[in-house]
């Protein structure tokens, strides 16, 4: 599955769960923009935002870090929290930590043999 496809799936799931929670709470679930603030503009309480995070996490099989909870203000923030992270390339001059560990172990073995 491509990264773009996965991002679309996560965004769709987040929107579905948000709409469902809004409808359950009796709030209007019309057009929702990515910049809409969950509490002020959409009328969710902090407890409902926490419930929404738990529901999305359960559906995705992901436990969101609690420190991320305080960063979620908008629909866009919510989607970003659950988006798959693209692997990053090491910067020039940086090496893979496992490769560095392997080299250190090899150097220790070589020193013992000498």
CATH number of the domain at 22, please.
Answer: 1.10.1200.10
Task: Calculate what percentage of the chain has a pLDDT beyond 90.
Answer: 26
Out of 2-6, 23-27, 29-33, 56-60, pick the least confident: 2-6
Inside any domain, residue 90 = no
The backbone torsions φ and ψ at residue 73, rounded to the nearest 5 degrees and listed phi first, read: -120, -35
Inside any domain, residue 110 = no
Element (H, E) at 24: helix 3-24
> pTM to 2 decimals?
0.64
Inside any domain, residue 114 = no
pLDDT of residue 94: 52
Residue 47, CA distances (Å) to 44, 53, 107 in order: 8, 10, 54
Q: Could you tell me the pLDDT band of residue 98, with boundaries at 50, 70 and 90?
A: confident
pLDDT of residue 27: 81
């Amino acid at each position: 599955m491509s990264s773009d496809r996965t991002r679309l799936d996560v965004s769709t799931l987040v929107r579905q769960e948000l709409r469902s929670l809004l409808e359950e709470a009796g709030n209007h679930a019309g057009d929702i923009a990515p910049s809409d603030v969950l509490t002020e503009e959409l009328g969710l309480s902090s407890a409902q935002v926490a419930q929404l995070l738990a529901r999305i996490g359960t559906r995705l099989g992901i436990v969101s870090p609690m420190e991320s909870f305080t960063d979620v203000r908008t629909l866009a923030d919510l989607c970003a929290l659950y988006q798959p992270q693209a692997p990053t390339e090491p910067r020039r001059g940086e090496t893979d930590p496992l490769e560095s560990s392997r080299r250190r172990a090899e150097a220790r073995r070589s020193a013992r043999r000498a």
